Structure 1
């Protein structure tokens, strides 16, 4: 289930240095949001804060859950239940098949949860056009590997998808096809998508764009801006 986002007085620090400050930000469930800005501006830091992967101060609420108030194990449990993460470098096991990679989360769930995860992984792979068969992903192209990574993120049926430069490793044709597939899947399922990207082709397909510079939100445009 997608969840609304509410942020107030968010701050991420590294020693005496402030990496990120977001005074106030909200978004409805099901929003498609892009995050842009120069390298080193704090975009990935923001995404990591949204996923609870780093420590932060203030309030960062997905629905009724304030990630900042949770212990690390609580944030891990929240991610497992509610989030799918898509990384620029895929993070796949080259020796495994697409199905084995996409259904990997099932290995960490109780037995009765595994068949639904495997089934959703297979469905996502099919919808994304990933080749069937016994090939391992080590022989796949960059576009095919990123599709497997998206299927893995979708397999647990998360309400929230967080992506870090999902098209950066792809050529233009593969990136455009992936953008079509990803945005269509997200809109059809009513999920929230927040994507860090330098790719204007991807950003143009989203509903709202945040610009981050020097660790602060300096721009907020789009139909769903709150």
Structure 2
């Protein structure tokens, strides 16, 4: 029997507000993401991309439909279950979300604090190793303000990888980066997906990075309106 897809969505519907103020933002969305697959979600602002990402990431409670993420059904799941699932998901955000008073190494090491088997020195050593893998071996002890935008985003990539997640969710990770820095970040993500079999679901408006995707899924008015295969997933 084939393994279950890491992300399996059926009939996802979601709205904000109540009564006359109720506004539907997702309408009957179906989506499957396979192991090691890179899927880009595109579409105009307000089309529901980020809301869908937050539901998959267990950051919001489900309303209607079924969402199985890393084998866990999220419809009706209590907050405690969603918290456990979030620990197995790496999140990368446009604004980095780094703590300004911690060094690059300390920011990454924080993602390992939930592993009680690791002492502080082990966490810091692991963080240094990850930062070296994303090209920041010379910047371990710099604060975020001392790093460029591209370097800060690479710290956030290293942090997302720290706990060896089963899924990576990225929301506009290249929006604030120049062409060269943006390319570096997405190639790091592509290497992760293909070398470790980790699926990546990435929300973007950036046409420069479409060619890293196995599929580009277009959304409009809360619905998926098309999907395009950009490259062979086995490439």
Tell me the residue number matched to 1:123.
129
TM-score, length basis structure 2? 0.87
Question: Of 1, 9, 12, which residue of structure 2 is paired with 1:10?
Answer: 12
Tell whether 2:96 aligns with 1:90: yes
1:201-220 alignment runs, 5 A limit? 201-220=208-227
Tell whether 2:29 aligns with 1:27: no
Tell whether 2:104 aligns with 1:102: no
Q: Separation in 2 of the partners of 1:219 and 1:116? A: 46
Q: Separation in 1 of the partners of 2:6 and 2:113? A: 29
Q: Separation in 2 of the partners of 1:39 and 1:100? A: 34
Tell me the residue number matched to 1:67.
74
Q: Which runs of 5+ in 1 are unaligned?
A: none
Secondary structure of 2:68's aligned partner: strand
Q: Alignment RMSD, CA only?
A: 2.0
Q: Separation in 2 of the partners of 1:184 and 1:195? A: 14
Q: Separation in 2 of the partners of 1:34 and 1:125? A: 25
Tell me the residue number matched to 2:197.
190
TM-score, length basis structure 1? 0.90
Question: Of 54, 70, 86, which residue of structure 2 is paired with 1:48?
Answer: 54
More off after superposition, 163-172 vs 110-119: 110-119
1:92-171 alignment runs, 5 A limit? 92-112=98-118, 117-130=123-136, 131-171=138-178
Is residue 3–residue 159 contact of structure 1 (8 Å, CA) maintained in 2? no
Secondary structure of 1:6's aligned partner: strand
Is residue 83–residue 161 contact of structure 1 (8 Å, CA) maintained in 2? yes
Tell me how far 1:180 sits from its aligned partner.
Answer: 1.9
Q: Which runs of 5+ in 2 are unaligned?
A: none
Tell me how far 1:205 sits from its aligned partner.
Answer: 0.6
Tell me how far 1:63 sits from its aligned partner.
Answer: 4.1
More off after superposition, 132-141 vs 93-102: 132-141
Secondary structure of 1:93's aligned partner: coil
Question: Of 15, 37, 42, which residue of structure 1 is paired with 2:43?
Answer: 37
Q: Separation in 1 of the partners of 2:205 and 2:24? A: 23
Aligned length: 222
Are residues 98 and 133 of structure 1, via their aligned partners in 2, closer, same or farther at CA, if it must alter by over 3 Å?
closer
Is residue 37–residue 213 contact of structure 1 (8 Å, CA) maintained in 2? yes
